[in-house]
Chains A and B, each alone.
Chain A
């Protein structure tokens, strides 16, 4: 199944979510096959439906001082951080036309990140029953999605830049004591976000062209 790609660059979280919902309506109406939104965000903390009290480790005042807003969202999962050093992918895909299987879709997102890492010479892997991608025991990609009428939104964020990890200390990512890493940290070199975005886009195009 083909999808259109929208590269928004550095975008506010709310703006990107509004855009996804517009795309969602177009996909639902049959006016658009599917879409992939690529962007990064100004620092923001978001919570999913599973977020528990205490997942954010600092006070509202401290977050305000740092200029980091918190958004409660309709996605699955717990709490996460997004920032300018991350590449965030929001696929708006009609699983009704692909495969009505939420687990399949999550595995394909993880698979696209693992393939991208492999192209960069990095071994990424899944970890047991947990969703996401790990490198050397640290998490590099996080996933939380919403599905309405079998059309997806929200998605996956991948830590790319090594200098945008410290804000994860403000939260318990995914409600667990997880240590985060970035593609730059594990590769030991500078990584171009646009290049990674192109690799992930190609990977997802291949993955969604046929159903396994």
Chain B
């Protein structure tokens, strides 16, 4: 299982909000597929899948705030 973690986004940015999941739990994903779009105050950004597999767990829903370093999802 591979955890998808919110990476460091820049100095002073400690959290981001989930704007959109491109997949739902149980979907097959390829490496580098965009998994999720997140937003800070003035920027949006994407998080690509680190590997191929099945998106087995989504830990936060759209609108939730996530801290840098937290696990967003798991891929098996």
Total A-B pairs in contact (CB under 8 Å)?
A: 61
Instruction: Determine, out of B23-31, B37-45, B50-58, the stretch whose residues face the partner at the interface.
Output: B37-45
CB < 8 Å neighbour of B12 from A103, A105, A145, A149: A103
Tell yes or no: B59 within 8 A of A by CB. Answer: no
Tell yes or no: A75 within 8 A of B by CB. Answer: yes
Known: A49-B19, A74-B44, A146-B44. A102 touches B39 (CB 8 A): no
Q: Are A144 and B42 in contact (CB under 8 A)?
A: yes
Tell yes or no: A131 within 8 A of B by CB. Answer: yes
- A residues less than 8 Å from B43 (CB atoms): 75-76, 102, 106, 144-147
- A residues less than 8 Å from B42 (CB atoms): 48, 76-77, 106, 131, 143-145
CB < 8 Å neighbour of B10 from A49, A101, A144: A101
B32 to A, closest residue via Cβ: A149
Q: Which of B10, B19, B48 has the most CB of A within 10 A?
A: B10
Interface size class of A (residues with CB under 8 A): 20 to 34
- B residues less than 8 Å from A77 (CB atoms): 41-42
Closest CB of chain A to B70's CB: distance in Å? 17
CA distance A139 to B69 in the complex (A): 34
Tell yes or no: A179 within 8 A of B by CB. Answer: no
Tell yes or no: A71 within 8 A of B by CB. Answer: no
B48 to A, closest residue via Cβ: A149
Tell yes or no: A6 within 8 A of B by CB. Answer: no
Known: A49-B19, A49-B39, A74-B37. A104 touches B44 (CB 8 A): no
CB < 8 Å neighbour of A103 from B13, B19, B37: B13
Chain A 66-85 near chain B by CB (<8 Å), digits 1 or 0 = 00000000111100000000
Tell yes or no: A50 within 8 A of B by CB. Answer: yes
Can you spell out 5 A-B residue pairs with CB atoms less than 8 angstroms apart?
A: A76-B40, A102-B45, A145-B44, A146-B44, A147-B45
